[in-house]
Amino acid sequence: MAMLVSLRDNASIIWWLTVGLAGFMGLSSAASVKPNIIIIMADDLGFDDVSFRGSNNFLTPNIDALAYSGVILNNLYTAPMCTPSRAALLTGKYPINTGMQHYVIVNDQPWGLPLNETTMAQVFKKAGFRTSLIGKWHLGMSQRNFTPTERGFDHHLGYLGAYVDYYDQSYEQKSKGYIGHDFRENLLPTHDQVGHYVTDVLTNAAVKEIDDHGSKNSTQPLFLLLSHLAPHAANDDYPMQAPEHELAQFGYIQNKTHRYYAAMVSRLDKSVGRVIEALARQEMLENSILLFLSDNGGPTEGQHFNTASNYPLRGQKNSPWEGGLRSSAAIWSTEFERLGSVWKQQIYIGDLLPTLANAAGISPDPELQLDGLNLWSALKYGYESVEREIVHAIDEDEEEPHLSYMRGKWKIISGTTVNGNYDGWLGERVTSGEVDPRSEAYEDLIRNTSVWQLLQQVNPGKRNISGLRADASIECPEPATGIRPCLPLLAPCLFDIEADPCERSNLYEEYRNSTVFLDLWQRIQQFARNAHPPNNKPADPKCDPRLYRNEWTWWQDEKASTAAVMNHFSWLLMGILCCLTML
């Protein structure tokens, strides 16, 4: 009898141990589940062109709902142009350390992100993620090895070069007479989407990626980079494009180009809503990190301008000023302890690789020598005390050498771009007349979006929308030191960005012989001495799409068709004969 009791007791103990172990294993397994990481990147979006900054010229209700539900990144810095910015995002390094610092890759130039650099996609893929790029690449296409599916992405649908037409997906280089189709699924050109608006095409592809992933009940986490064309201008003859029904909403905007810009941003805003709806539909939302940002400031004027506003910041895209470097960004995750807040910590686009990797329990190999910092804990708990050093740009180009560097509140600019044409305050905020009619019931508009409602279901809580909107707005108070001009082509400029975010008071003369300036200047020289030489290479006429069935392709790996070569040379011969006749 005693033995039966003992056996019964032992069985009971074993049962409880089994249940406890199973529970522990379940908790351990749940804790080890990696989050899906979804990055939505706009192209050339102005700092003030998301309405959570305070502008009522046109509204972005879905982006705003994401921002108010999550954390507004008030000081996210990027590189000032597309290629350097994307290189920094994917490598976690300053462009000066990868040779990507000078200008952008033009489609006819045979260079790209060095093949010995490890990308964010490779880091996440190695950790078991499915990796997908939808949209723009712009990190090299002259060799197949430069392209997305050779650099860690399991899947790519989109274009390889700088931009395309919104409907026929062509890229035209008018000065060279080149025009060709640039749109692929993985390694194969696809014309299936010709005639469809590319913002919708990319959104549909992202939604399909999410639906496919969710329908398979995959335990594999998803890393999705939705890299939009919008609102970048298209080819020069027809730069601003939007569906007519989208355009019709903005008839109150008098300037035609700006009306198209508003419609292009509006379509981008709808894309954000559709992606979040897809994540919710597939029950992936709660275990996802969502990030929205722009690759750089918007171009108000000049090449490929789209009327973007970086108000009240100085400068624009392709400049060393805040208007070229600060991105309007927001991030959401159930891990954050201060959802519904404005985070004022300085963060660099190169920090996103180690930060998001840490969020997924990944420790990047120290041999990668990342410049980016892991700020996940600071972001998760809302700390704002990390003093961040950021090399915005060091470009020793002979024609326009310039640099832009920041440490803490101090920022140095020396030299500039485009002869200083973008050195002023170029974007203005519309405060009367051309105001979005929906702004009269702004808070109701935000609360009625699917984005707001879906994120509230996951993380219910009170949000002071008006307070957050005011806190995310940048004010430019009269500097205590008064207005002190900066002429960066004549001498360096020094700014206290905390007190003077609009760069109106140059403190160089006051601090030029101080340890504050001299220490910063010495650090800049150290970076410049160790910089990787720029990878830029001269244009290669062998890129001509006419040689490759009118496709932009990796021409250094392709064999041009004989007929195309003969046709190419016949055109050259005709040109020569024409010139001789004129002589």
Active site residues: 82, 138
Residue type, position 108, single letter:
D
Closest CA to 320 of 387, 395, 409, 426: 395
CB 84 within 8 A of CB 101: yes
Residue corresponding to tokens 């200008």: 103
Neighbouring CB atoms inside 10 A of 12's CB total 10
Distance separating alpha carbons of residues 138 and 153, to the nearest angstrom = 14
CB 44 within 8 A of CB 138: no
CB 149 within 8 A of CB 119: no
Residue corresponding to tokens 């771009």: 417
What token pair was written down for 433?
């007349």
CB under 8 Å to 447, separation ≥6 — which residues?
A: 453, 465
Neighbouring CB atoms inside 10 A of 425's CB total 19
Q: Are strands 347-348 and 389-395 parallel, antiparallel or unpaired?
A: unpaired
Beta bridge partners of 37: 223, 289
CB 229 within 8 A of CB 163: yes
CB 152 within 8 A of CB 125: yes
Distance separating alpha carbons of residues 148 and 554, to the nearest angstrom = 12
DSSP 146: G
Distance separating alpha carbons of residues 422 and 419, to the nearest angstrom = 8
Residue type, position 122, single letter:
Q
Distance separating alpha carbons of residues 71 and 382, to the nearest angstrom = 9
CB 172 within 8 A of CB 178: yes
Give the up-direction half-sphere exposure of residue 115: CA atoms within 13 A in the CB hemisphere: 10
Residue corresponding to tokens 């045979």: 110
Residue corresponding to tokens 């171009």: 299
DSSP 102: S
